Amino acid sequence: MAEQISQSELASASDTFYAALADALDGDATAMVDQWSQADDVCYLGPMGDLIVGGDAVQESWEQFAATHLGGKVTESELHFVGSGDIGIVTGWEKGVGHRGLDEPINIRATSTYRREGGVLKMIGHHTDLIVM
């Protein structure tokens, strides 16, 4: 049986995700694409409302997002970690400020799901609240 994903592994994966998100906000999707599994079963339900399924489609989505150079900053808070076998879940808040075209700060509930693949935690799902403009 595989070693259970620990809270510290999930915290590290979450830190990596939010650092990659900062890069994507600044126009570089490389780290974000690397964070995600390339498997066909991954899904991303982001704050704009689209359900994106499959590694290739998720990669394309993040590359398109980065090309917008949205800017601003997103910080995570009140994170809760659950690991079971090769799957780990992180829930909490994403708080955004300073994005082009948005006057008010945004507060988004988010759930990230990770799977151990080849000894590395890869994101297989990210689900956030919908931002209605």
pTM across the whole model:
0.91
Report yes or no: 124 and 41 within 8 Å, Cβ to Cβ.
yes
Q: What percent of the chain is modeled with pLDDT above 90?
A: 77
Average pLDDT of the segment spanning 105-131 = 93
What 3-state class would DSSP assign to 27? coil
The pair of structure tokens assigned to 90 is 């992180």
- Domains, the chain, in order of start with CATH, read 7-128 (3.10.450.50)
Residue 40 pLDDT more than 60? yes
- What confidence tier does 42 reach under pLDDT thresholds 50, 70, 90? very high
The pair of structure tokens assigned to 41 is 């079963």
- What confidence tier does 48 reach under pLDDT thresholds 50, 70, 90? confident
